[in-house]
Structure 1
Amino acid sequence: MIFAVKPLTNIRTLTLWLVLFCPVATWIGWQEHAERYERFFQSTSIAQRMLSQKVVQHEAVLATLAALEHPPSPEQLLLSLQPAMPQLQGLGYLRDGTWVGSSASPPGMLAAVEQARQVGRPVTLALDQSRYWLVSPSNWSLLLDARLLIAAADFPPTLGTLTLDVGAEPLTLLARQSAVGSMGWDMSLQKTLGALSQPFPVHSWYRLTPSDWPWTEWLAWALASYLLAASSAAWRHSRAEARRRQEEMRLAAMTRLNTLGEMAAGIAHELNQPLTAILAQVRAAERLLDDEEERPAVRQALLASAGQARRAADIISRMRELVQPSAPSPRVAVDPDALAASLLFLRERELTRRGIRLSWRNASPGASPLGDRVALEQILHNLVQNAADALADVPPPRSIALSGGCDGAGYQFSVSDNGPGIPGEALPRLFEPFYTTRAQGMGLGLALCETLAGAMDGRLTADNLDPVGACFTLHLPLAGADV
């Protein structure tokens, strides 16, 4: 199992942005499509009504012609009607079975007249995809060209393509969009002309191309959702920083307390012997004092000195008892991955700023060491800090490797770096209190780590790596093993 120092913050922010953006963007697109379809439906209905009004006029003209007792010649009627009805291309009627018209009678005229009489209304006789005869039961017929019903410019501007089924093939009345070669989403609608004699189907469709998509609304929501995602990421980051600072403060307080304990123990050890010697010398002087005249005063002074010496020893003893725990902390099975994750979390910002990569490798997943989690945190924290200090003057790349795994019947943590290593003369004395190779060091960190390791029945060792670097290994009992 590998942990990286820097979390995938950017990926989490991008994922949150996509979660916010996609549903709303889909809704915006759907709303835009619904509005455009509504406009498309209204425009198609308008076109259908315009065409219906035109073809209904044809029925009115036929009714008027049927009411004439002495109609003019078809040629005269055509000249008088064409200015108002440019779609009218010819007209005529049957007189005693003989065709009289402005143009020749088409094939099937007699059958069409008979059909009109049977249904009691005009019927159509198609010539091609645009021209047709409108034949009435009164024998009058009109030759009409559907291409001239309405000019293309008069149709609503939101229509794309409009066709009318007059003959066997559709007649294109409007072609503002190309039928091929464009990417998009088609909207289509079919209506029938509102004339019983000319119920021609009208087909309308419009292709929504990328230029019709709601780019402005999408861009506005993309920016707003990104700001929301970035704000959420910043809030999570601030919370993580606050938690990191709390953990660092807790660890620092624990470090200061443990360091104070080590320091008090060292001071007590160093001062107990001189204080004991002072006490012995004072008592000897008391016994050897022979001057009768000075004896009471000297004895009083010596007694006071002895009392002060005992008092100093008592103070140091009480200090040592205060800072040292009276009983060792209970040892439990510690999750090494959780321990490493906490350490990586605490050190992420500092190590990244210093150009150091910290990694964790669990060589024995499922295995756990037996110890005190707080003490283990303190030891690994100090070892990583020492490794980071050792890399201060090392050119990049700089790396610290933290690993854990079983070692026989025990468990061990290793902290290694690619720094200059430990000087040979310093290696045997690393764990001595107050011994340090750094100008500003106190020489208590590694001594404290060794003391904490010993309290958990563990041990701490140090070695140099080949060709460069140093490695500190913490050996601990294995949870579940016989110890």
Structure 2
Amino acid sequence: MMSAVKPLTIPRTFLLWLVLFSPVAAWIGWQDYADRYERFFQDTSIAQRMLSQKTVQHEAVLATLAALSHPPIPQRLLPSLQPSMPQLLGLGFLRDGAWAGSTASPPGLVAAVEQARQVGRPVTLPLDEARYWLVAPSSWSLLLDARLLIPAADFPPSLAMLTLDLGKGPLMLLARQSTDGPPGWKIDLHKPLGAVSQPFPLHSWRTLTATDWPWVEWLAWAAASCLLAAGTAAWQRSRADARRQQEAVRLAAMARLSTLGEMAAGIAHELNQPLTAILAQVRAAERLLDDEEERPAVRQALLASAGQARRAADIISRMRELVKPSSPSPRTAVDPDALAASLLFLREDELARRGIRLMWHNSSPGVRLLGDRVALEQILHNLVQNAADALADTPGSRNIVLSGGVEGTDYAFSVSDNGPGIADEALPRLFEPFYSTRPQGMGLGLALCETLAGAMDGRIAVRNLDPVGACFTLRLPLAGAPA
């Protein structure tokens, strides 16, 4: 038996798309973030090396000046160094305890020289957040402006914000993002400069906003996953249509066979009586035959007629035995909800195209009835088909309600519609074989339903509804109820 699987609805298709899209979109976002952080880390390291090279250059200049036996005076030396060292604002040294330099001596110079000699390397004397003196053990000193170490345009493009702390607070070296910009995901890195005498802390950070998100990749995957979800929904819909067609063909074949059996049984019933009468009349003629001359020929003809009549009766009897069930229908516990779901799966879309709404309501969920599932499908199929035919010319909304529930020791199915109802004179004859209220009807469908219901110890009835419509009720014993 085919399971009543419905194709993906629009909400379920959207949910499938969401399930497909979300994890891959999260992976795309994480990969993009990882790539951006890797570039940010590498470019921050490049900026740190560039600044470190400049500060190491300061140490090299001081070492060179200390090695000179007759260094030039600072006022002449400064112009020659500034083209290659724009950050150099001044320089000088102590000569016989007196300051000789291009600018005024730095405060605390003597103490700084003593400290530099103790640690064996230059030390710094910050003036503000941007300028500082670098004092060597030889007493040579350089006045430097950290703002001029590297032009902002020379920093790698992925860097947004850079600060350098000389000891008087952070100095902004680069500001490519507004501090009042939109919120986002902040990435930052702290690294000291590589010069031993100037290990100033470098802080680099960037805020990833919505403009940095991988929209192109997300949109591409959204379109691809949408196609996947739509393709899956179309495949399931095609598969469901194929199953629906297969089941419809199966039910139609079963209906044709059952109708043929009912027709054969009706024909056998109708022809058996005239054949019996023919047989009785022939035997009477045989007994009353008095003409001696014609007696042999008439007797032979009558005997032949009687033989043919008996043969016809035997053929009809064998046909009747063929279509008559040899044993009671197998009955099992049947779930009404599963039965109704299969029926809705088969008929709901077809009826919807005709403007008819088919609904199911079970007032006793979980209850099982005793019957033959195939026979029950055939009965409900015929009742729904009859209701749909009755609604063909009904204006306005057209509804068929299939409902079920426990009534005493029975489970009752009801098929009701809001059509014109059934004429009062037709109600008593609806279940007679070959009686039909439709011009094209054969009058066998309801008779077949009654036969199938009786084979399951069930019964079927019909009544008109007030103000309009008709209702067919099928009652069957509950599973587990006493016989």
TM-score over 0.5 for the pair: yes
TM-aligned CA deviation for residue 480 of structure 1: 2.0
Match of 2:384 in 1: 384
Determine helix, strand or coil for the equivalent of 2:187.
strand
TM-aligned CA deviation for residue 153 of structure 1: 0.8
Mean CA deviation greater in 401-410 or 13-22: 13-22
Letter in 1 for 2:176: R
Letter in 2 for 1:9: T
Alignment of 1:100 with 2:100, yes or no, is: yes
TM-aligned CA deviation for residue 259 of structure 1: 1.1
RMSD of aligned alpha carbons: 1.9
CA contact 1:343–1:381 (8 Å) conserved in 2? yes
TM-aligned CA deviation for residue 409 of structure 1: 2.0
Letter in 1 for 2:162: L
CA contact 2:90–2:101 (8 Å) conserved in 1? yes
Determine helix, strand or coil for the equivalent of 1:472.
strand
Match of 1:167 in 2: 167
Q: Distance in 1 between matches of 2:89 and 2:167?
A: 17
Match of 2:218 in 1: 218
TM-aligned CA deviation for residue 380 of structure 1: 0.8
Match of 2:83 in 1: 83
Match of 2:338 in 1: 338
Alignment of 1:120 with 2:100, yes or no, is: no
Match of 2:294 in 1: 294
Structure 1 residues 22-61: aligned runs within 5 Å:
22-61=22-61
Query: CA 1:152–1:83 in structure 2 vs 1: closer, same or farther (change >3 Å)?
Result: same
TM-aligned CA deviation for residue 73 of structure 1: 2.9
Determine helix, strand or coil for the equivalent of 2:481.
coil
CA contact 1:257–1:323 (8 Å) conserved in 2? no
Match of 1:363 in 2: 363
Match of 1:232 in 2: 232
Determine helix, strand or coil for the equivalent of 1:84.
coil
Count of residues paired in the alignment: 480
Q: C-alpha offsets along residues 362-416 of structure 1, whole Å, 9 cap, x if unaligned?
A: 1112222222212111111111111111111223422211111111122111111
Q: Distance in 2 between matches of 1:196 and 1:252?
A: 94
Q: Distance in 2 between matches of 1:165 and 1:357?
A: 77
Mean CA deviation greater in 115-124 or 64-73: 64-73
Match of 2:482 in 1: 482
CA contact 1:120–1:137 (8 Å) conserved in 2? yes
Mean CA deviation greater in 188-197 or 122-131: 188-197
Q: Distance in 1 between matches of 2:101 and 2:468?
A: 112
TM-aligned CA deviation for residue 149 of structure 1: 0.6
CA contact 1:133–1:144 (8 Å) conserved in 2? yes
Mean CA deviation greater in 400-409 or 100-109: 100-109
TM-aligned CA deviation for residue 8 of structure 1: 5.0
Match of 1:196 in 2: 196
Determine helix, strand or coil for the equivalent of 2:32.
helix
CA contact 2:8–2:233 (8 Å) conserved in 1? no
CA contact 1:5–1:357 (8 Å) conserved in 2? no
Unmatched 5+ stretches in structure 1: none
Determine helix, strand or coil for the equivalent of 2:468.
coil
Letter in 2 for 1:59: E
Q: Distance in 1 between matches of 2:219 and 2:292?
A: 107
Q: Distance in 2 between matches of 1:224 and 1:146?
A: 52
Q: Distance in 2 between matches of 1:198 and 1:462?
A: 102
Letter in 2 for 1:348: E
Q: Distance in 1 between matches of 2:118 and 2:417?
A: 105
Q: Structure 2 length normalisation: TM-score?
A: 0.95
Q: Distance in 1 between matches of 2:393 and 2:75?
A: 109
Letter in 2 for 1:286: E
Mean CA deviation greater in 131-140 or 165-174: 165-174
Q: C-alpha offsets along residues 436-462 of structure 1, whole Å, 9 cap, x if unaligned?
A: 111211111111111111122211111
TM-aligned CA deviation for residue 229 of structure 1: 2.5
CA contact 1:28–1:217 (8 Å) conserved in 2? yes
Match of 2:259 in 1: 259
Letter in 1 for 2:368: S
Identity %: 80
Q: Distance in 2 between matches of 1:161 and 1:291?
A: 136
Q: Distance in 2 between matches of 1:116 and 1:480?
A: 103
TM-aligned CA deviation for residue 50 of structure 1: 1.1
CA contact 2:7–2:236 (8 Å) conserved in 1? no
Match of 1:410 in 2: 410
Mean CA deviation greater in 16-25 or 143-152: 16-25
Letter in 1 for 2:431: F
TM-aligned CA deviation for residue 102 of structure 1: 2.1
Query: CA 1:450–1:467 in structure 2 vs 1: closer, same or farther (change >3 Å)?
Result: same
Q: Distance in 1 between matches of 2:298 and 2:114?
A: 159
Match of 1:18 in 2: 18
Determine helix, strand or coil for the equivalent of 1:299.
helix
Determine helix, strand or coil for the equivalent of 1:401.
strand
CA contact 1:460–1:475 (8 Å) conserved in 2? yes
Query: CA 1:377–1:369 in structure 2 vs 1: closer, same or farther (change >3 Å)?
Result: same
Letter in 2 for 1:39: R
CA contact 1:130–1:167 (8 Å) conserved in 2? no
Mean CA deviation greater in 44-53 or 346-355: 346-355
Q: Distance in 2 between matches of 1:434 and 1:179?
A: 90
TM-aligned CA deviation for residue 319 of structure 1: 0.9
Unmatched 5+ stretches in structure 2: none
Determine helix, strand or coil for the equivalent of 1:173.
strand
Q: Structure 1 length normalisation: TM-score?
A: 0.95
Mean CA deviation greater in 250-259 or 411-420: 250-259
Match of 2:185 in 1: 185
Q: Distance in 1 between matches of 2:245 and 2:5?
A: 17
Query: CA 1:396–1:172 in structure 2 vs 1: closer, same or farther (change >3 Å)?
Result: farther
Match of 1:154 in 2: 154
Q: Distance in 2 between matches of 1:220 and 1:381?
A: 47
TM-aligned CA deviation for residue 5 of structure 1: 11
Letter in 2 for 1:280: A
Q: Distance in 1 between matches of 2:127 and 2:260?
A: 111
Q: Distance in 1 between matches of 2:70 and 2:78?
A: 16
Alignment of 1:457 with 2:457, yes or no, is: yes
Match of 1:136 in 2: 136
Match of 1:473 in 2: 473
TM-aligned CA deviation for residue 298 of structure 1: 1.8
Determine helix, strand or coil for the equivalent of 2:172.
strand
Query: CA 1:440–1:376 in structure 2 vs 1: closer, same or farther (change >3 Å)?
Result: same
Q: Distance in 1 between matches of 2:79 and 2:290?
A: 164
